[in-house]
Chains A and B, each alone.
Chain A
């Protein structure tokens, strides 16, 4: 058994980190320090391994057999291009989170006992290790074990942060939803392993080769259901905006930025690799389902994000949106994928867009969650209506948060724009190729993506403006200080990545070569998209190519900004004077600042059909209606998925159990009769074995 030094190094780092929880016996701080240092080493090792696979000479997958733990299955790891790319995504955010984490935990919960610190260190390292080895899994059992490890570790992290009931409820909902998804995955995997008689992916692939179309699709949709639950696709997203904000902020960054991507990895692995037919295209229904789910998630995710006033909850809803954008690319790649030349190019662009958005979202969402964490640990507030004025008190955090906000709103010259541009180009290419109803469907998806971008910009003007600008609305915000340097360093690393991926996306295309070529068996991403050199992205679906050169644009913007700066200084250094903001003659206070609720109100009314907003105003008047002593306002919007699906299911179950309760008399023999009847019915239906 040959042992690959790279993978063992990652395992050793995270293993050391997990074991360092034992140091908490002597000192919680020591455990925290050693554990996070080990995690950082593991993340850097992950970066090294993945870059080595992605940029190194093309070779067959890096494989490694693991010790035999189970008599019925051999565990193994196999790292191909796709695995390596997702390990890269995980390691990028893990690096930032591991730098950021210790200072955050010390500042946010200084009174945490060593037991809690030990739990957090253990769960954190297990979480990271499980995610990395899930993407490297070479067989179904390793995959499922890591999947479960990831879920359990993140659950522990969600409930570990505070000891209030809300975290526990969020954790419970997360657990129930995650296990529902796992059950679907189990069915899909077990159906395959039963046919293959083995657990390793190569045998599963071979066994899937002679499935008929209906079974293949059933298995795909089962797996899709499982992964979509984890990815937080609408309408399976209800756990996400509760669980993600409840975790410590650097863990939120990992859950939103990375854990959801693991589900994307699963969809890609199942759709393009394990279940893909040996010859011919994928079943069209797969791609269209993914595209529809993606489009719905993108629009609804951002619409609900817009009405959130809890900073971390808002960011969590944006994860739903961005997963939707990634799925648009994945779905289009599934529809377009053919083994011929034209289909291969279109599918490559679509998949490259999805994969690029995967790392882009990891970078900017990680950055934004870490920024929100800095605000949280300095003010202990997540509600934006109580914040404000932080840009003067926390300039670094504010600047980096603004950078992330521009990136997530898909504005040039940062990375969010590039991947959305690629998605648009892929959608347009699809519209030109499909024509007919299919083409129209693709274009409507493109229009929805445009709407998503616009709404995201509106949402982040609100999030940034209300949190960081204006006057502080509470003493907590007024006395905020800048976050410690190590937290800023964690954010700066992700911020630098947002800029680099935005300005030089052509170089990032090289990272996408191995996964796109490996999955689609066609030309790599850089052969299709950087045909004109690494400085220019170009997509050609018609006679003319469409080109985008981010480096030239960045240089142009810098030059223009420099000139505008000189012009603004004026020809003769005119004086600068400071004065209070004009508030119609009243003395300015924080109550003149626009609130988040007020900011989002016009859009709340425009999209009232989706929000079903409710508001209640109670006025205490002094005799005449013109003199109000006190006004109390409450308003809320509903999540349609929650009210229309989950609450109805819940009501039905409650009603059914009420009905049953009237029948339950408490007499044992009645129950025995029920059980017997149920058994008889089951036997009648399923008991007829093969004759």
Chain B
């Protein structure tokens, strides 16, 4: 079987996602600010923050092991590599096979694992608290995400994201069945959890009552923190791209022409913006849930995903 996306395109898509990541965060922050009747920082603010961090020196806790300094590097590498699995400009399997939706979730899990390990290294209570909470929520989110993947994969017969996206664009909304709607609903419930946003986590604060992901970053500084932040921006856009590949149509145009390429890029950005708007609206309209309420919140997603699967298979 020959693929439809050459390896160079896959690498281009990966870099594109990494560069797009901070912008998406910036846009979500801007929308949130406007919803709160604030002016807010410019959408490019995350880039400025990153540039500042990468120029700074590093302060490191004196109890950390040799591992600590390499954590941000591997977290960033794993997250960006996950981006190589998301079809951006067009659907279809890649020419050089790399992996599927399960590998994408695996790479994101690897990044989370390493982040949590790094959080325990400095020996502060905040890092431990963040790691403990993050590793509590993650095992509850992952199986449901997998079930959503399965519910679409059983119909398409593959878990390859490009092929799934191509399959989806062949039969969009009008051909959707109940299972698709339920799967999408489950995904929308999980999306804030996977991107670390309200009502599951709050990316804006470092208060110990709310923090999951931010708590784990406390001991990083300078370029290391920059890597971690860039990784979390990338993670967010990769997750959004993953949802888009599973449920939203990909560009039907051939990627060979410059026009098809542009349309693909524009369509991808439009899909990401829609999902970003959803995240911003949810984050502005709901309060953070008490930590032990989160399993109940995720259970809603679980029920949707299970029903989607059952409808698909029975």
Complex partner residue of A553 from B98, B124, B141, CB under 8 angstroms: B98
Q: Mark A383-413, 1 if CB is under 8 A from B, else 0.
A: 0000011011001001100100010011110
Most buried by A among B55, B97, B100: B97
Q: Which residue of A lies closest to B153 (CB)?
A: A428
* B116 located at the interface, meaning its Cβ lies under 8 Å from any Cβ of chain A in the complex: yes
Complex partner residue of B135 from A461, A538, A557, CB under 8 angstroms: A461
**Given A552-B96, A560-B77, A581-B124, are A411 and B219 also a contact pair (CB < 8 Å)?**
no
Q: Mark B117-128, 1 if CB is under 8 A from A, else 0.
A: 101111111011
Given the complex, which residues of A lie within 8 Å of B56, measured CB to CB?
A: 570, 574
> CA–CA, A293 to B227, complex, Å?
43
Given the complex, which residues of B lie within 8 Å of A594, measured CB to CB?
A: 120, 125, 127-129, 131-132
> CA–CA, A402 to B62, complex, Å?
21
Binds A, one of B37-45, B103-111, B179-187: B103-111
> CA–CA, A571 to B54, complex, Å?
8
Given the complex, which residues of A lie within 8 Å of B96, measured CB to CB?
A: 549, 552
* B280 located at the interface, meaning its Cβ lies under 8 Å from any Cβ of chain A in the complex: no
* A100 located at the interface, meaning its Cβ lies under 8 Å from any Cβ of chain B in the complex: no
**Given A458-B139, A560-B80, are A465 and B146 also a contact pair (CB < 8 Å)?**
no
Q: Which residue of A lies closest to B298 (CB)?
A: A606
**Given A458-B139, A579-B62, A606-B295, are A599 and B150 also a contact pair (CB < 8 Å)?**
no
Given the complex, which residues of B lie within 8 Å of A466, measured CB to CB?
A: 120
Q: Which residue of A lies closest to B56 (CB)?
A: A574
* A671 located at the interface, meaning its Cβ lies under 8 Å from any Cβ of chain B in the complex: no
Q: Are A568 and B72 in contact (CB under 8 A)?
A: yes
* A541 located at the interface, meaning its Cβ lies under 8 Å from any Cβ of chain B in the complex: yes
Interface of A is mostly: helix
Q: Which residue of A lies closest to B114 (CB)?
A: A406
Given the complex, which residues of B lie within 8 Å of A590, measured CB to CB?
A: 123
Given the complex, which residues of B lie within 8 Å of A580, measured CB to CB?
A: 61-63
Given the complex, which residues of A lie within 8 Å of B81, measured CB to CB?
A: 553, 556-557, 560
Given the complex, which residues of B lie within 8 Å of A567, measured CB to CB?
A: 54, 223, 226-227
Binds B, one of A29-37, A282-290, A442-450, A634-642: A442-450
Q: Mark B137-163, 1 if CB is under 8 A from A, else 0.
A: 011111111110010011011111001
Binds A, one of B188-196, B236-244, B265-273, B306-314: B306-314
Given the complex, which residues of A lie within 8 Å of B103, measured CB to CB?
A: 412, 417, 421, 548, 553
**Given A450-B146, A583-B124, are A576 and B67 also a contact pair (CB < 8 Å)?**
no
Distance of B111 from chain A, by nearest CB (Å): 9
* B86 located at the interface, meaning its Cβ lies under 8 Å from any Cβ of chain A in the complex: no
> CA–CA, A470 to B103, complex, Å?
31
Q: Are A542 and B158 in contact (CB under 8 A)?
A: yes
Q: Which residue of B lies closest to A559 (CB)?
A: B77
Q: Which residue of A lies closest to B58 (CB)?
A: A576
Distance of A46 from chain B, by nearest CB (Å): 33
Complex partner residue of B313 from A439, A553, A598, A599, CB under 8 angstroms: A439
Distance of B190 from chain A, by nearest CB (Å): 13
Q: Are B65 and A395 in contact (CB under 8 A)?
A: yes
* B297 located at the interface, meaning its Cβ lies under 8 Å from any Cβ of chain A in the complex: no
Q: Are A599 and B132 in contact (CB under 8 A)?
A: yes
* A455 located at the interface, meaning its Cβ lies under 8 Å from any Cβ of chain B in the complex: yes
Q: Mark A405-443, 1 if CB is under 8 A from B, else 0.
A: 010011110000100010011001001100111011001
* A1 located at the interface, meaning its Cβ lies under 8 Å from any Cβ of chain B in the complex: no
| B268-299 CB contacts (< 8 Å) to partner A | 291-292, 295
* A543 located at the interface, meaning its Cβ lies under 8 Å from any Cβ of chain B in the complex: yes
| A500-559 CB contacts (< 8 Å) to partner B | 532, 536, 538, 541-549, 552-553, 556-557
> CA–CA, A549 to B81, complex, Å?
13
* B90 located at the interface, meaning its Cβ lies under 8 Å from any Cβ of chain A in the complex: no
**Given A470-B63, A544-B160, are A461 and B117 also a contact pair (CB < 8 Å)?**
yes
**Given A428-B154, A542-B157, are A553 and B139 also a contact pair (CB < 8 Å)?**
no
* A564 located at the interface, meaning its Cβ lies under 8 Å from any Cβ of chain B in the complex: yes
Complex partner residue of A389 from B63, B154, B291, CB under 8 angstroms: B63
> CA–CA, A574 to B144, complex, Å?
43
* A12 located at the interface, meaning its Cβ lies under 8 Å from any Cβ of chain B in the complex: no
* A468 located at the interface, meaning its Cβ lies under 8 Å from any Cβ of chain B in the complex: yes
Given the complex, which residues of A lie within 8 Å of B64, measured CB to CB?
A: 469
**Given A443-B313, A470-B121, A541-B157, are A536 and B97 also a contact pair (CB < 8 Å)?**
yes
Q: Are A574 and B223 in contact (CB under 8 A)?
A: yes
Q: Which residue of B lies closest to A595 (CB)?
A: B128
* B26 located at the interface, meaning its Cβ lies under 8 Å from any Cβ of chain A in the complex: no
Q: Mark A647-681, 1 if CB is under 8 A from B, else 0.
A: 00000000000000000000000000000000000
Q: Are A560 and B76 in contact (CB under 8 A)?
A: yes
Q: Are B222 and A448 in contact (CB under 8 A)?
A: no
Most buried by A among B122, B140, B223, B295: B122
> CA–CA, A365 to B21, complex, Å?
38
Q: Are B157 and A544 in contact (CB under 8 A)?
A: yes
Q: Are A568 and B67 in contact (CB under 8 A)?
A: no
Q: Are A398 and B65 in contact (CB under 8 A)?
A: yes
Distance of B165 from chain A, by nearest CB (Å): 11
Q: Mark B40-83, 1 if CB is under 8 A from A, else 0.
A: 00000000000000111111111111110110111011101100
> CA–CA, A425 to B101, complex, Å?
11
Complex partner residue of B60 from A446, A564, A577, CB under 8 angstroms: A577
Complex partner residue of A575 from B58, B65, B80, B100, CB under 8 angstroms: B58
Distance of A587 from chain B, by nearest CB (Å): 13
> CA–CA, A402 to B226, complex, Å?
24
Q: Are A564 and B72 in contact (CB under 8 A)?
A: yes
Q: Which residue of A lies closest to B96 (CB)?
A: A552
> CA–CA, A300 to B276, complex, Å?
38
> CA–CA, A469 to B289, complex, Å?
31
* A73 located at the interface, meaning its Cβ lies under 8 Å from any Cβ of chain B in the complex: no
Q: Are B61 and A450 in contact (CB under 8 A)?
A: no
Distance of B43 from chain A, by nearest CB (Å): 23
Q: Are A606 and B140 in contact (CB under 8 A)?
A: yes
Q: Are B122 and A544 in contact (CB under 8 A)?
A: no
Most buried by B among A412, A460, A462, A541: A412
* B175 located at the interface, meaning its Cβ lies under 8 Å from any Cβ of chain A in the complex: no
Complex partner residue of B67 from A402, A536, A598, CB under 8 angstroms: A402
> CA–CA, A440 to B312, complex, Å?
9
Complex partner residue of A602 from B110, B120, B291, CB under 8 angstroms: B291
> CA–CA, A546 to B139, complex, Å?
24
* A482 located at the interface, meaning its Cβ lies under 8 Å from any Cβ of chain B in the complex: no
Q: Are A581 and B219 in contact (CB under 8 A)?
A: yes
**Given A574-B56, A578-B62, A599-B128, are A588 and B123 also a contact pair (CB < 8 Å)?**
yes
**Given A542-B158, A543-B157, are A568 and B93 also a contact pair (CB < 8 Å)?**
no
Given the complex, which residues of A lie within 8 Å of B77, measured CB to CB?
A: 557, 560-561, 563-564
> CA–CA, A549 to B103, complex, Å?
10
Q: Are A592 and B132 in contact (CB under 8 A)?
A: no
Q: Are A575 and B57 in contact (CB under 8 A)?
A: yes
Given the complex, which residues of A lie within 8 Å of B144, measured CB to CB?
A: 447
* A601 located at the interface, meaning its Cβ lies under 8 Å from any Cβ of chain B in the complex: yes
9 A-B residue pairs with CB within 8 Å? A440-B313, A465-B128, A469-B117, A547-B93, A560-B77, A593-B128, A594-B128, A598-B128, A606-B136
* A-B contacts besides A428-B153, A446-B147, A458-B135, 7 pairs, CB < 8 Å: A412-B107, A451-B143, A466-B120, A542-B158, A548-B99, A568-B223, A581-B63
- Which residues of B are in contact with A by a Cβ distance under 8 Å? 1, 54-67, 69-70, 72-74, 76-78, 80-81, 84, 93, 96-100, 102-103, 106-107, 109-110, 112-113, 116-117, 119-125, 127-129, 131-133, 135-136, 138-147, 150, 153-154, 156-160, 163, 167, 218-219, 222-224, 226-227, 291-292, 295, 306, 309-310, 313-314
- The 5 A-B pairs at the shortest CB distance, nearest first, are namely A542-B157, A594-B128, A454-B139, A465-B120, A547-B97
